[in-house]
Amino acid sequence: MKKSNLSIKEVEQAIESFEVEDQKKLLKDLPKLLKFSPADFGLLKAAESAFGFWDNPEDQIYDNL
C-alpha cells in the first residue's frame, strides 16, 4: 500500500471541509476503507447501544462538545 504524505491533522481538516453529504458517505464507507473485518464491524455495531444511556435531556449539554 502506498504511504500517504498527509498528516492526521490534514486529513481531519479535509474531512471538516467536506459537504455534509460527503461526510456521511465517508462515515458509511470508513469501516471498509480501514479494512475492518465483519467481526470488528459487528462488535462496533453491538457497542452502539451502550451509549444510549447518555441519550437523555439531562445530558444534552454534552452533545456538542
Amino acid 23: pLDDT: 95
Whether the pTM exceeds 0.85: the reply is no
Cell of residue 3, nine digits: 504511504
What are the residue ranges spanned by the domains of the chain? 8-62
Amino acid 44: pLDDT: 83
Amino acid 14: pLDDT: 95
Q: Give, for all 65 residues of the chain, the pLDDT tens digit.
A: 677 788 999 999 999 999 999 999 999 998 889 898 888 888 888 888 888 877 888 888 887 77
End-to-end CA distance of the chain: give it in Å, rounded: 35
Amino acid 13: pLDDT: 96
